[in-house]
């Protein structure tokens, strides 16, 4: 199911980027605050005593998010190359193997399963992205189907754990890719939802995860509409100004 693209004003995209960079990083333990994230992203101002690794985790979201938006504007279907491109930008200056599938076994602390082996990962990821695109394009009939499929495949990705690190941040960015691609607002999982989010992943409860996504997207949709209305008011104010051609001055 291909939805109509939604309008994405620049100010709204900045707002999404700031919240995404802060919350997605905070879920992984980053301690940079939301106000400091605003300073870093919007004003290129680095607060004193900022840990360099945490700073890169925040700033890398800017390049990764712009990359996602560019691919969507160009109507590029999700592929393993795009997935690697997102990971490469999210982990720039943080990982020596940025943008590459894992070369060694990795583990998830406290998980009752073992992620895919490095040997299995390339084929599993090809199958993952092909199946995701098929489900979204051919099977999904409505927005609820899209949310269920996006949640299901996020859980699957977590179990493959295709990269040596940065899987969570990449996976959350991929959910945004699929949602925007199909005309839904982006999903921002806030840091205060960390425990619930991790529990849903651990339980692999697709139905509950879909409801979780639906709740957050309803909130995001209201926020998005607020930015659209702000943009419309700007246009109205601009349009109310008389043009030079309409002016009587000098006549």
114 is in an annotated binding site: no
Token representation of residue 224: 């998005």
Q: Is 161 a catalytic residue?
A: yes
Distance in angstroms (rounded) separating the CA atoms of residues 19 and 116: 31
172 is in an annotated binding site: yes
Distance in angstroms (rounded) separating the CA atoms of residues 68 and 4: 17
Q: Both ends of the chain: CA-CA distance in Å? A: 57
165 is in an annotated binding site: yes
50 is in an annotated binding site: no
Token representation of residue 239: 């349009």
144 is in an annotated binding site: no
Look-up of token digits 């941040």? 169
166 is in an annotated binding site: yes
Residue 27's closest CA among 167, 222, 215, 224?
167
Q: Give yes or no for a contact between 190 and 22, defined as CB atoms under 8 angstroms apart.
A: no
167 is in an annotated binding site: yes
Q: Give yes or no for a contact between 41 and 62, defined as CB atoms under 8 angstroms apart.
A: yes
121 is in an annotated binding site: no
> From the candidates 23, 154, 161, 224, which is the catalytic residue?
161
226 is in an annotated binding site: no
Which residue numbers belong to the known binding site for ATP?
165-172, 205
Q: Which residues are catalytic?
A: 161
Which residue numbers belong to the known binding site?
165-172, 205
């Amino acid at each position: 199911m291909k939805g109509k693209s939604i309008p994405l004003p620049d100010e709204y995209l900045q707002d999404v980027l700031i919240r995404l960079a802060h919350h997605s990083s905070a879920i992984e333990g980053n301690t940079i605050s939301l106000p400091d994230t605003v300073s870093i992203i919007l004003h290129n101002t680095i607060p004193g005593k900022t840990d360099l690794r945490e700073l890169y985790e925040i700033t890398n979201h800017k390049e990764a998010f712009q990359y996602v938006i560019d691919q969507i504007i160009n109507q590029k279907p999700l592929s393993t190359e795009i997935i690697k491109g997102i990971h490469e930008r999210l982990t720039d200056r943080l990982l020596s193997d940025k943008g590459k599938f894992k070369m060694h076994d990795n583990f998830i602390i406290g998980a009752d399963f073992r992620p895919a082996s490095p040997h299995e990962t390339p084929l599993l990821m090809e199958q993952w992205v092909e199946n995701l695109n098929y489900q979204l394009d051919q099977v999904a009939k409505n927005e609820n189907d899209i949310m269920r499929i996006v949640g299901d495949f996020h859980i699957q990705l977590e179990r493959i754990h295709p990269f040596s690190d940065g899987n969570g941040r990449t996976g959350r960015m991929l959910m945004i890719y699929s949602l925007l691609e199909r005309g839904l607002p982006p999903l921002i999982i806030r840091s205060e939802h960390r425990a619930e989010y991790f529990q849903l992943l651990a339980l692999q409860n697709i139905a509950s995860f879909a409801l979780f996504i639906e709740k957050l997207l309803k909130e995001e949709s209201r926020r998005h509409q607020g930015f659209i209305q702000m943009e419309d008011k700007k246009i109205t104010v601009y349009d109310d100004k008389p043009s030079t051609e309409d002016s009587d001055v000098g006549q």
